Every structure is written in structure tokens, then in C-alpha cells.
Homo-oligomer: A and B are copies of this chain.
């Protein structure tokens, strides 16, 4: 599907003689899509099937791909996400470029690239994006038929290329960005959420423990956190009130 119009970027060493030794370099995008299951952060990974030493292997990678000719970086990230996971209208944030020489030192990956991507690879520079999404029914439906699945960030196996490192940096980026503007965290919560869910999210993102009572009071005084008259049901304790994040009020409140 997205194999047409693929960008193949070649590296030409400017030797003094005229023969152009073409070492291939590719430019790609990779997306770290993060979700929150109410308890843990999870990252969206793509199943990969490859071959090494004559026998098939299965592992995982970030959703990503080479960039099309004449395609903007941001557009490429969006496209890749739709193609590999079915997700649309996701806010993506570029956070770092990875271009180390030994990104492609694993023969497994080189072999996979040459087969699956029909690319003879010398070096790939990738531009990494992060996205925060609500794990939910809608999302699961969109992902149907794709090779995508959620994996808790605490239980990520060794991935293709330097994708473990990329996820690590994505999480660091999330922490630092959220510490400046915690409102981005609401993208990880369902439309209706309890203060306890919000607190759990803060705790898992920042790696801290917070006092429930103080956190509660601090949050409900925020004008853009509007209380609904709906409560949890089926819990074996006092049911918590649902709240929602009002983006309009939020935008007005930060002039």
C-alpha cells in the first residue's frame, strides 16, 4: 500500500575518482504512541515477522516507515500511524531525531529491511514522534485488522533497531513536557474520569506518590475540571464522582 513512491535516500561518497559508490541512507519516521489503562502506561507496538539464519522469527517494533518523496515529516508520521494502526486524527509531537551509525548494526534488522522494505541499507536516520491517546473501545475497533497491540512500558521486550531507546526518550519527553503543561495528560484519560484516575496518572508519569486528599482539593479547584453528576458504579467502596476536562475553559484560563 505505502510501498509506492517510497523515498530511497542514497549516500554518495565524494571520492576523487568518478565512480559513485552509493551507500544507501534512508530517512524515516517512528511513532511512540502512549496510552494509559488506568494503572500503567502502555505503548503501541507492531508485530514484525522476519527471517534469520533460515528460520522465521517474531518480534515487535514501533510503527514507522520510510518517508515518501515530497512528503512533510509531520504528514509522514500521521500517514504511518493510520496505515499501521488505523488511528486517525492523532496529535503527534516530534521530539528527537535518531541517526546513530549503529542503529542498523543488528543483522536481523538489516535482513528484515532488505526483504520487507526492499531496501539495501547503509544507514537510517529516523525522526521520532510521540502521541498520547485514550485507550478505549473506539481505539480497539480502529486497530482491528492491524498488527498493532498495546504493551505495558514496564514489560517491553527487546525491539527492532534502537526502538527501546526511542521509547525511553519518548517517556522522558512526556515527563518533561507534562511537568511544564500537565494539561496534556488529559489526552490519556477517557472523557469521564475520577480524580483518583487522574492521580494515578500523575503518579505513574512522574514516578511519585501523592496524598489523595490534598490532590483532590487541588484538582477540584481548577476551573476547567468540571464535575459531572455521575458516579462510579460497582465499586466496593464509596463511588467516586466523574469529572471531565473542559478544553475551552482551559484555553481561556491561560491567557
Q: Which residues of A contact B (CB under 8 A)?
A: 3-14, 22-23, 25, 27, 67, 69-70, 72-73, 94, 96-97, 99-101, 125, 127, 176, 179-180
What are some 13 contacts across the A-B interface (CB < 8 A)?
A: A3-B14, A5-B13, A5-B14, A8-B10, A9-B9, A9-B12, A23-B69, A27-B99, A70-B101, A72-B101, A73-B125, A99-B127, A176-B180
Interface of A is mostly: mixed
Complex contact B10–A10 (CB within 8 A): yes
Complex CA–CA separation, A73 to B101 (angstroms)? 9
Complex CA–CA separation, A69 to B21 (angstroms)? 11
Q: Which of B25, B73, B97, B127 contacts A7, CB < 8 Å?
A: B25
Q: Which B-chain residue is minimally distant from A118 (CB atoms)?
A: B14
Q: Which B-chain residue is minimally distant from A13 (CB atoms)?
A: B69
Complex contact A12–B10 (CB within 8 A): yes
Across-interface contacts of A8 in B (CB, < 8 A)? 10-12, 14
Q: Which B-chain residue is minimally distant from A70 (CB atoms)?
A: B101
Complex CA–CA separation, A160 to B79 (angstroms)? 30
Across-interface contacts of A70 in B (CB, < 8 A)? 101
Complex contact B127–A97 (CB within 8 A): yes
Q: Which B-chain residue is minimally distant from A68 (CB atoms)?
A: B13
Complex CA–CA separation, A178 to B56 (angstroms)? 49
Complex CA–CA separation, A5 to B15 (angstroms)? 7
Q: A9-B10, A99-B127 are in contact. List 6 more A-B contacts (CB 8 A).
A: A5-B14, A9-B9, A9-B25, A25-B27, A27-B125, A179-B180
Complex CA–CA separation, A73 to B103 (angstroms)? 12
Q: Which B-chain residue is minimally distant from A16 (CB atoms)?
A: B4
Across-interface contacts of A97 in B (CB, < 8 A)? 73, 94, 97, 127
Complex CA–CA separation, A73 to B27 (angstroms)? 13
Complex contact B94–A73 (CB within 8 A): no
Across-interface contacts of A12 in B (CB, < 8 A)? 7-10
